[in-house]
Structure 1
Amino acid sequence: MIELNENGFKVGVSNKDGQLGFLYSRGGLREGAGRKSIGATKKISLTLPDDIWEKLEKQGIEHRMSRSEVLRQILESYYSS
């Protein structure tokens, strides 16, 4: 059941594992909604010298990319050649 409360939110149970979903007055809980996956996510800890971290941060700011996006681009470039 989906109900609209006084704040304009919908609350309902999705089709997946009985999870609750909160939405604004538009849209709906549906399979396949949201950002599409680009691959498997694995958390790692990476130790680099401070100057390398600074270069990664600078590149991210210059290209409006997250640190993960910068590292992904570097790794994909290296392994695609």
Structure 2
Amino acid sequence: MSVNQLKIGLSNKEGQLGFMSTRGGPREGAGRKNIGVTKKVSLTLTDELWEKVDKHCVDNKMSRSELIRTLIESSNL
């Protein structure tokens, strides 16, 4: 059985400390790409509207965020 060695190093993100494996691990540019700025909002809807939103998302294989983003992009704001 081999023992994995760990190193503690500085992350590229604002000087945070992180554990680094001697093999593999996080790489610059890896992972899901950002599509914009994330801001948390609270949305109050009736149970009926939430059911419609969730059904639409399941039927169209999309997240709530994707649905809301699509609706905003298609409007004339």
Superposition TM-score, scaled by structure 2 size = 0.66
Q: How many angstroms apart in 2 are the aligned matches of 1:64 and 1:52?
A: 18
User: In the aligned structure 1, how far is the partner of 2:36 from the partner of 2:8?
Assistant: 28
Q: How far does the alpha carbon of each residue in 1:31-62 deviate from its partner, in whole angstroms, 9 at most, with x for none?
A: 22221111111111111122211111001111
The alignment of Structure 1 onto Structure 2 pairs a total of residues equal to 72
Partner of 2:4: 5
Gap regions ≥5 residues in structure 1: none
TM-score, with normalisation over the residues of structure 1?
0.64
Q: Select 2:64's aligned residue among 58, 63, 67.
A: 67
- Gaps of at least 5 residues in structure 2 are none
- When the two chains are superposed, the root-mean-square deviation of aligned CA atoms in Å is 2.8
Which residue identity does 2:4 align to in structure 1? N
Q: For residues 45 and 18 of structure 1, what CA distance do their matches in structure 2 show?
A: 30
Instruction: Report if aligned partners of 1:21, 1:29 keep a CA contact under 8 Å in 2.
Output: no
SS in 2 for 1:20: strand
| 2:16 corresponds to | 18
